Amino acid sequence: MTRTHSISPFLQPKRPNGLLRHVVLALAITAGGLIPPVSLEAQVAGQGQGAKADSAAAAAAKAPKAKAWYENIRIRGYGQIRYNRLLENNPQLQCEQCDRSWGENGGFFIRRARIILQGYVHPQVFIYLQPDYASSAGTTGHVAQLRDWYVDVGLDKANEFRMRIGQSKVPFSFENMQSSQNRLPLDRADATNSANANERDLGVFFMWAPRVVRERFAHLVNDNLKGSGDYGVLTVGAYNGQTANRAEANDNQHVVARVTYPFLVRGQIIEPSVAAYTGMYRIAPDQRTSGVKGRADWDYRDERVLATLAIAPQPLGILAEYNVGRGPEYNPARDSIETQSLHGGFVTVTWQHKARTQVFSPFVRYQVYDGGKKHERDARSYDVNDVEFGVEWQPHANFELVAAWYQGDRRFEDKTRPINEQAGRLMRLQAQFNF
């Protein structure tokens, strides 16, 4: 006997009545005429396109989002606080360009207060902004003043060829290009720093350096080997020539050129270089004493040639520079500013000793200079012979202390001080923090 399943009458489907059957049939015929049947191939293709869309969406979700330009900007800085009056025996011994807190009425002094913004806003566009909040204006101290504001534009994808546009350090003198954050002696040498006040000017510079050399430049700075930074192997450029934060005054730009190369010799980096610049410098009204004599247009030939030898402290380091040239200089015998010859240089010997996280860097520097300082009043005449030795102690990367003993003989003369020679000694202290 065939086994049957009983179904509740409430669950049994009802047959459509005649009218309903006709309506359903008409709708089916209509749909069949308006909507073509979908083939199997089309169904498979549609499924494939859907899979591809899902895969693309998943890949897009996993792909890293490109950084906005401001996410590549790095903020860093440093500060220096000094005291120069320990064991001082002559308060009239001063150095205007070195440190305004030298000598009489000097005390605790903020030498530098720097905040730096830098980074690539494009793979071939690098920006650098550095103000200093320890500058002075007249008798007011701690005034913000621009130090650097430039852009490096890469001319190739590797940025081996660059154009630097803006206010930056003039590529003349290793010590001038070396950041004061990395330099061991508390001040730059008169012999080379007299070339450019604040080491900077406004101009355009072309730089070339192969990738391997740029890596060496970075290594010297990042590994605390007192490097000068990356100013190229070959550099040529033009700048106003009136020094930083001063407008062009005579429609005559200075021209500079520098050639250097950091050789790697048995693990030691040795960098010889030569540099030169030429131009016309104008002594502005605010830079000369009333009644002082000089050229009718106050324009003076300003040119120098420099030779440098830099040996990174691994652990023994040597930096030696010497320049010769001519420029404006006050002549006490004639009470006039004249174009005169100049010459001078320095030798700094260092030793770097690492003890776990601490770094000790003793140093000694001897320098001489005979010439003028164009940016000081009346192109002040100088004759410098001094020595400085000390030690930098860095307990960690963010803080360091320097103690330096200075002894020297300086003649610095202008119209108000036509006879002025000072000799003396003093102990100098500096605390520096880095971030």
| pLDDT tens digits along 35-90 | 344 443 444 344 455 555 555 555 555 666 778 988 999 999 999 999 999 999 99
pLDDT tens digit sequence for 27-45: 343 344 433 444 434 443 4
Classify 27 as helix, strand or coil.
helix
Q: In 4-106, at which residue ranges do the beta strands (DSSP E only) sit? A: 74-86
Q: Which amino acid is at 210?
A: P
Helix (H, G, I), strand (E, B) or coil at 235: strand
The residues pairing with 140 across neighbouring beta strands, listed in sequence order, are 137
Total-model pTM: 0.84
User: Helix and strand tally (H, E) in the chain?
Assistant: 5, 18
Mean pLDDT of the chain: 89
Query: For residue 132, is pLDDT > 80?
Result: yes
Do 84 and 96 form a contact (C-beta atoms < 8 A)?
no
Q: Say which CATH class 73-434 falls into.
A: mainly beta
Q: Are 360 and 306 in contact (CB under 8 A)?
A: no
Query: Other C-beta atoms within 10 Å of 123: how many?
Result: 11
**Rounded to an integer, what distance in angstroms lies between the CA atom of residue 322 and that of residue 325?**
11
